[in-house]
Structure 1
């Protein structure tokens, strides 16, 4: 038995380390709430207006999103549908993968499943972790995703952040050259609190998109467990009745 426990521990430990993201920076808690329809609606607006020029949601349909998030049809057409897009269309864009690779050095990913692939905490932390880096093609880098190819889409809203290096007491190229944190040095159009709220709304929306049935699945799972519990009680007393004469 002791050998089985040891073997199980050796198997689980590396998997747990992988799930935690290895040795990267500690991720912030996104603290999302899929029941918050107002947050999801704001997140949809931010994503469509700031992110969809490059990133698509190819497994989500506009109409499905509007129905789930309780977005009226007139608001959907006014704020979330552009050009000749229709409510029945999938949430894709016209950017060709080859163009994305030419401009950014890599194919631009679809973000439908990004929070399931990375985690909501990763997305939330990533959108807050850009900092100035003159060595990069677009002049920015990211603490969570080093050598990122994407420019900072919300720089005008968040402001300018400088890197904080290990062994230093502030921004600048002191210490051992390893970036351990970022520091706001030039405010943007939003306060830090307002920017955090916006990023949380976007993360909340992307978490919904990754699994639209998540709340319904959890609720159904609860009903199934309750049913199995009642069935167990019935089976237990039925067994006692059938076997009472044998015992």
Structure 2
């Protein structure tokens, strides 16, 4: 009994430490309708292959799955095959960066993004909300090794690879006090100091598309299963009705 009590106390301590280390920023709501929009998913795929695949693979997905987004095999090969050695669309989508090289250059291998939309889900919001907010929360921070920081993931090791689209942001904090005691910094705003190639609205739209693609990548058959589920429920409804009427017809003469 004592052993279980110690384990329970330790668990609460660990949870408390993790919570204290996490960001207090509220997650923005991801526009979920994008996941059902092939044009948005195709744009998200383009952004992923142009800006993310250099470091992050989605190894649980094959190139052939991109056909589900309304792309032909020739379009997939022409636009998304980064490596000429890829023989066919049955190849899984992996980063060209080797893990051993990544450890030397970056300190550790960048994570695979196949299941990020699921793994980042928490009581604060869905994994899609986390990704959508994270991609739009970078700001310049000279104190960091990369020169960048992130409101959602403080101390993040990844630089802002989308800076040319978003521009450069600066974050404005105010010192927060309670009963005369300093409790830390409170976020006031995130302001653009150097504009990028997109306006804020355009950047938000594109990040919604990129997030939608990563959500799709975490469960490529999700939409098909949902559509199939509707037909299955309709079939079961008709079957139950027919079985009920047939049962009534069988028992009519007996009763």
Give TM class, smaller chain. 0.7 to 0.9
Question: Deviation at 1:217?
Answer: 0.8
| Aligned equivalent of 1:203, options 204, 211, 221 | 211
SS at match of 1:177: strand
Conserved in 2, the CA contact under 8 Å of 1:105 and 1:149? no
Partner of 1:74: 74
Equivalent residues, number: 220
Question: Deviation at 1:233?
Answer: 4.1
Q: How does 1:1-247 map to 2 (within 5 A)?
A: 24-32=24-32, 33-65=34-66, 67-84=67-84, 85-88=86-89, 89-118=91-120, 119-167=127-175, 176-179=184-187, 181-234=189-242
Kindly tell me: are residues 139 and 23 of structure 1, through their superposed partners in 2, closer, same or farther at Cα, counting changes over 3 Å? closer
Q: Distance in 2 between matches of 1:180 and 1:222?
A: 46
TM-score by length of 2: 0.75
Q: Distance in 2 between matches of 1:204 and 1:197?
A: 11
Q: Distance in 1 between matches of 2:23 and 2:48?
A: 29
Structure 2 unaligned segments of length 5 or more: list them. 1-17, 121-126, 177-182
Name the stretch that deviates more: 41-50 or 221-230: 221-230
Partner of 2:8: none
Question: Deviation at 1:229?
Answer: 3.2
Conserved in 2, the CA contact under 8 Å of 1:30 and 1:120? yes
Structure 1 unaligned segments of length 5 or more: list them. 1-17, 169-174
TM-score by length of 1: 0.77
Conserved in 1, the CA contact under 8 Å of 2:65 and 2:220? no
Q: Distance in 1 between matches of 2:137 and 2:41?
A: 22
SS at match of 1:165: strand
RMSD, aligned CA? 2.7
Q: CA offsets per residue over residues 16-65 of structure 1, 9 Å max, x none? A: xx9xxx87321112213223111111111111111111001111111221
Q: CA offsets per residue over residues 115-171 of structure 1, 9 Å max, x none? A: 122211111110000011122110111111111110001011101111121458xxx
Kindly tell me: are residues 87 and 181 of structure 1, through their superposed partners in 2, closer, same or farther at Cα, counting changes over 3 Å? farther
Q: Distance in 2 between matches of 1:54 and 1:207?
A: 18
